[in-house]
Chains A and B, each alone.
Chain A
Amino acid sequence: MAKRDYSLLGEDSRRAVENGLAAAEWYHTEIPRKEMKALMAREDQPAIRDSIILYGSMILFAGLGIWLWPSWWSAPFWLAYGVLYGSAMDSRWHECGHGTPFRTPWMNVVVYQIASFCMVRNPVTWRWSHARHHTDTVIVGRDPEIVAMRPPALFRIFLNFFGIIDAWNGWARMLLNASGRLDPEEATYIPESEQPKVIRVARIWTAIYAATILQALAMQSILPLMVIGLPRLYGAWHHVLTGILQHAGLADNVIDHRMNSRTVYMNPISRFIYWNMNYHVEHHMFPMVPYHRLPELHAKIMHDLPPPNTSIWQAYAEVWPALKRQLRYEDYFLRRDLPATAKPYREDFHKDALGHAVPAE
């Protein structure tokens, strides 16, 4: 296969539209309507409880960090605050972008706006980007959110454990948008009617960052930036650690989430930070199911899905060699075996992608 072109304006994008991979109909496990309705049902209570724990912890950790500053005794509290700011906000951005955690719409909006700011993701731009990710998951040239491309940019991924590329791009994009302009790729998926909102948000954020920097200058201290801005860097590691596992090393250009997404069992702390997005096949198949019902959905459809990875570390034991192999053979991917109870993959739908598979070593 020719070298992959991940640009949304490139040759692979055009080809995906031409051969029907763009906006295709994806495979879904059958679930009776009544059961599906029950799984999709919304309630406020679980997300209110989790938000009180999350924001309460952030206030507590930041408060202790400020109180003990500049002593090194403040470091553990900044690390804890950072991971909630730079990683838990990623999953809150994601879930509230779908509008599923709370039944009350304004609650989703408030958490979405706060989380978008923390992650430096324009809430308008990224809503559209993520919609495209769900329409065309890991379709080369269509999905703007592919983390591990082929060949994988391993150094770039490593830098992102400290937010270095993504946060930097976020701030650069914020300044571009604040100046009244959009990136040409953004303009391909944000409707014109929504574009003024992108610019308005970017200007508000620029003002908040300017105020924080001025405060730091006035205090002759980086303390204000330890609270706003820098935690996006020093707390990013957990969302990258878990986020890579969503799709890395798996098939691309297929229309069955069982082939290109990964479910991983995780410890309760990671699941709290990640808001159950470790059930990633389930989330992609049924994005309207709230995070707190995903374990139930998983139990209901696991007979039709590849066996989940049993831990973060077991998943990395699979992903890392696959990424290294993709450095040499871009067409290599991990094929997920299905249990005997599952409906088989439609080989005829995926002939083009699967036909290029390089056998495992």
Chain B
Amino acid sequence: MSNWIDACSTDEIDEEDVMRFDHDGRTFAIYHSPDGEFFATDGLCSHEKVHLAGGLVMDYMIECPKHNGQFDYRTGEAMRAPVCVNLRTYPVKVEGDRVLLQVG
């Protein structure tokens, strides 16, 4: 069942950047890719629960600010140690200038 949440406006996140979004006791990371698309994953690193929104976006990678582990934020795949467990990803759509996130 779809449950789309209005997360932010499109201009709140620069291209090649990430923003933290908290909703209903959960925390997410929303990404704006270099080609203008939006993506979302769990907000905490699967290694030691650090907020990924403090990290660095490079192309389609998010680097954790604590231990420099990397994920592909499009798929959630863990790409570089010390992260080994993939992130959960969430569908995102843009309506007008709003970014909506589907949380399961």
A interface list, Cβ under 8 A from B: 23, 33, 36-37, 40-42, 98-100, 103, 105, 124, 127-128, 131, 134-135, 191, 193-194, 286-288
Using known A-B contacts A23-B48, A37-B56, determine if residue A131 contacts B65 with beta carbons closer than 8 Å: no
Q: Which residue of A lies closest to B56 (CB)?
A: A40
Residues of chain B from 42 to 89 with CB closer than 8 A to chain A in the complex? 47-49, 54-56, 58, 63, 65-68, 70, 80-82, 84
Q: A37-B56, A128-B82 are in contact. List 10 more A-B contacts (CB 8 A).
A: A40-B56, A42-B56, A99-B63, A99-B68, A99-B70, A131-B82, A134-B67, A135-B48, A287-B68, A288-B56
Using known A-B contacts A287-B66, A288-B55, determine if residue A23 contacts B49 with beta carbons closer than 8 Å: yes
B67 touches A193 (CB 8 A): no
A296 CB, min distance to chain B CBs, angstroms? 16
B38 CB, min distance to chain A CBs, angstroms? 18
B91 CB, min distance to chain A CBs, angstroms? 26
B8 CB, min distance to chain A CBs, angstroms? 14
Using known A-B contacts A127-B81, A127-B82, A194-B81, determine if residue A103 contacts B65 with beta carbons closer than 8 Å: no
Using known A-B contacts A99-B80, A103-B58, A194-B84, determine if residue A131 contacts B49 with beta carbons closer than 8 Å: no
B79 CB, min distance to chain A CBs, angstroms? 9
Q: Which residue of A lies closest to B82 (CB)?
A: A131
7 sample A-B contacts, Cβ–Cβ < 8 Å, listed by A number: A23-B49, A42-B58, A100-B68, A134-B66, A134-B67, A287-B68, A288-B65
Interface centre among A33, A98, A131 (most CB of B within 10 A): A131
* Total contacting residues, chain B, CB less than 8 A: 18
Q: Which residue of B lies closest to A26 (CB)?
A: B66
Contacts of A287 on B, CB cut-off 8 Å? Answer: 65-68
A310 CB, min distance to chain B CBs, angstroms? 30
Q: Which residue of B lies closest to A128 (CB)?
A: B82
Q: Which residue of A lies closest to B69 (CB)?
A: A131
Contacts of A131 on B, CB cut-off 8 Å? Answer: 47, 67, 82
Contacts of A37 on B, CB cut-off 8 Å? Answer: 17, 56
Q: Which residue of A lies closest to B47 (CB)?
A: A131
* Contact flags B25-49 to A (C-beta < 8 A → 1, else 0): 0000000000000000000000111
User: Among A23, A33, A193, which residue has its beta carbon within 8 angstroms of that of B84?
Assistant: A193
A191 touches B67 (CB 8 A): no
Contacts of A286 on B, CB cut-off 8 Å? Answer: 65
A266 CB, min distance to chain B CBs, angstroms? 24
Question: Bound complex: CA of A124 vs CA of B80, how far in Å?
Answer: 12
Contacts of A128 on B, CB cut-off 8 Å? Answer: 81-82
Question: Bound complex: CA of A36 vs CA of B84, how far in Å?
Answer: 26
Contacts of B66 on A, CB cut-off 8 Å? Answer: 134-135, 287
Contacts of A98 on B, CB cut-off 8 Å? Answer: 68
Question: Bound complex: CA of A50 vs CA of B60, how far in Å?
Answer: 28
Question: Bound complex: CA of A103 vs CA of B59, how far in Å?
Answer: 11
Contacts of A288 on B, CB cut-off 8 Å? Answer: 55-56, 63, 65, 68
Contacts of A193 on B, CB cut-off 8 Å? Answer: 84
B54 CB, min distance to chain A CBs, angstroms? 8
Contacts of B56 on A, CB cut-off 8 Å? Answer: 37, 40-42, 288
Q: Which residue of B lies closest to A39 (CB)?
A: B56
Question: Bound complex: CA of A288 vs CA of B70, how far in Å?
Answer: 11
Question: Bound complex: CA of A124 vs CA of B47, how far in Å?
Answer: 16
B47 CB, min distance to chain A CBs, angstroms? 8
Q: Which residue of B lies closest to A197 (CB)?
A: B81
Contacts of B67 on A, CB cut-off 8 Å? Answer: 131, 134-135, 287
Question: Bound complex: CA of A158 vs CA of B38, how far in Å?
Answer: 55
A53 CB, min distance to chain B CBs, angstroms? 25
